[in-house]
Chains A and B, each alone.
Chain A
């Protein structure tokens, strides 16, 4: 119960990531719901990067590259699912919804785009290291 019992704990008392995770989450949500493409992509990148960072910091991952790529794949799948929901099941004409995106497809593409960037960064980093 003494102060000393607390200060000798082997865990850090500071981390730069929580504030950026919160900011990334807020920007991503704002961008996706209100429909600001750039804000959505930027927010998701910040969120993905910060989550990867905090995972490494807390020892759940040994480097940032794998978590980055993993989150990228997850975002990509989510975005693709959102886009796919708008494809006409009769014609399966995916190209037409992508070339002329409606509100939902545009949001889906933002999520796919940020996922692709995260995967690219993760894979590049992994290969270069």
Chain B
């Protein structure tokens, strides 16, 4: 033990010395002079790295505070997490082909189940939205950067250590990974002695701190850094959803952080916050967790809805139908999302009068969601529809969102929930939203802005393969789960050979169908990765300043204005002409005020 402590101390000392040595190579921190990047520039009024003077190589990515670079970092991180979470679930799906537990042990299945949920929600979902937000919110609102560029970088860099801790149980030999499921229900999560669970909770706490820092940054940026011609009336719909989402994060994530710290204290220091018969008891965890957890659903879905509202008009040749009402419905969902948490607890024995009120609010959320859906459909109605990959994914979003949403309305009704809770119906319902809707919107966004991220164009045929395989895979997998739920197949089980009642053959068949769907999804995502990587590396540079022909329908927007400026600047050499007196040269194709209103 003493030897272990000594080794740790020496290791920490070496880390600190290494950090100090690295820092002295990058900066003279006592005089405050940047050294990396070639030339040392004395600190003065106009010091600092300009956009083109960032350090080169890996150091550039480790030290950047540029919102676009951080957006790319978030995006790469999130897509890696998507791949890891996806591969985890493939193992689970193969396990479920047969009723018996023959591929992995039940314990390992439980660990994968836990990690898949946490990875997809906290390491893919939230970061990929931050990726779009960081890259595009400043461009869309005419800001130079985020309001707090350094805090932005800190928020991103909290994620990799958070991810390593969340996966720690798998990575560190000799300790068992957490098997609590992503909901971490007490008393199971207090009593489970795995160190992996502590590491996961710490990692989750770090990602929560990261999300909160990012949210504060978005709120301040959208409030204070808007360009002169951007007001609340013509703020674009994506920034509106980012603002609402950031507000939700600000109220939800600190609560999760506190609840997790209490759980860690219960686990390690003998407090009794969630102990049976003491204080709040195990049900306190469910209240705190779902007070965070349900807004989290909207934290994950509002910005993707914003992406859809932003992209659909551009491939329909029309402005977004009922723009104001789409904004109002976003705000309404944001407010209502804090009043529905106990619908996750209908079966826990809480007061029936409380249950009824939560049922009412949960059903009410269907109204603003339907407002959005009808507005998207009406935007496309009689429009000049172009079925490019971003539009295909957007239409796929609407289709899957309707199925995911309508199944959710049923679950919100107490009598139905009492039968379907803890069955595959719930799993099918929320995967229609998280995979069928959120991930689809993410793909739509990546394809739509691919020319901006990379300066290249993706391969269209591969993108269509990606869409159709994803659409078919999603519906095969998750519709099978809805049917399994109607047969009352319990969720979270590693094996189902102990099930002795019900149509067992049909259940096995549906599980096999879900696995086939998952394989189709996997093939689609492999095509996606290949498409992104090969297009980024090998495709010819985009020279068109308006790759989506947005000007034709009067829907040209600021971020493509920036893209056009970038191309023009590259054409004319390093510097764009600046007129005498320092007046900014207005590019001829800069967006006009009012263009951004959809």
Contact = CB atoms under 8 A, between A and B. Distances in A.
Contacts of A19: 62-63, 153, 157
A2 B559 CA distance: 10
Given A22-B158, A29-B206, A42-B16, A12 B8 contact: no
A29 B205 contact: yes
Contact of B584 (A2, A33, A46): A2
Interface stretch (A52-60, A70-78, A88-96): A52-60
A27 B19 CA distance: 14
Contact of B52 (A2, A7, A45): A7
A38 B12 CA distance: 7
Contacts of B565: 1-4
Contacts of A58: 150
Contacts of A1: 142, 227, 558, 561-562, 565, 587, 590-591
B65 A3 contact: no
Interface in B94-151: 142, 144-145, 149-151
B283 to A, nearest CB: 25
Contact of A14 (B37, B206, B561, B584): B37
Given A4-B585, A14-B55, A35 B268 contact: yes
B224 interface: no
B154 A46 contact: no
Interface residues of B, number: 77
Contacts of B268: 33-35, 103
A8 B45 CA distance: 12
A118 interface: no
A64 B165 CA distance: 31
Given A3-B576, A29-B206, A35-B268, A12 B65 contact: yes
A95 to B, nearest CB: 22
Q: How large, as a class, is the contact surface on chain A?
A: 35 or more
A3 B50 CA distance: 12
B544 interface: no
Interface in B515-572: 558, 561-562, 565-566, 569
Given A14-B65, A53-B23, A21 B154 contact: yes
A interface, over-half SS:
helix
Interface string B1-32: 00001001101110110010011001101101
Interface string A1-45: 111111111111111111111110111011001111111011101
B60 interface: yes
A80 interface: no
Interface in B62-111: 62-66
A104 interface: yes
A13 B65 contact: yes
Contacts of A103: 268-269
Contacts of B23: 16, 20, 53
B47 interface: yes
Given A23-B161, A104-B269, A14 B202 contact: no
Contacts of A11: 48, 144-145, 149
Contacts of B11: 38
Contacts of A15: 63, 65, 149-150, 153
Interface string B568-598: 0100000110100000111100110000000
A17 B160 CA distance: 16
A89 B529 CA distance: 62
B548 to A, nearest CB: 18
B51 interface: yes
Most buried by A among B55, B269, B578: B269
B49 interface: yes
Contacts of B566: 3
B34 interface: yes
Contacts of B30: 63-64
Contacts of A5: 144, 584
Given A43-B12, A54-B150, 15 more contacts: A2-B590, A13-B51, A13-B64, A14-B65, A18-B150, A18-B153, A20-B23, A33-B268, A34-B199, A34-B268, A42-B16, A46-B15, A103-B268, A103-B269, A104-B269
Interface of A: 1-23, 25-27, 29-30, 33-39, 41-43, 45-46, 53-54, 56-58, 63-64, 103-104
Interface of B: 5, 8-9, 11-13, 15-16, 19, 22-23, 26-27, 29-30, 32, 34, 36-37, 45-55, 60, 62-66, 142, 144-145, 149-151, 153-154, 156-158, 160-162, 165, 195, 198-199, 202, 205-206, 209, 227, 264, 268-269, 558, 561-562, 565-566, 569, 575-576, 578, 584-587, 590-591
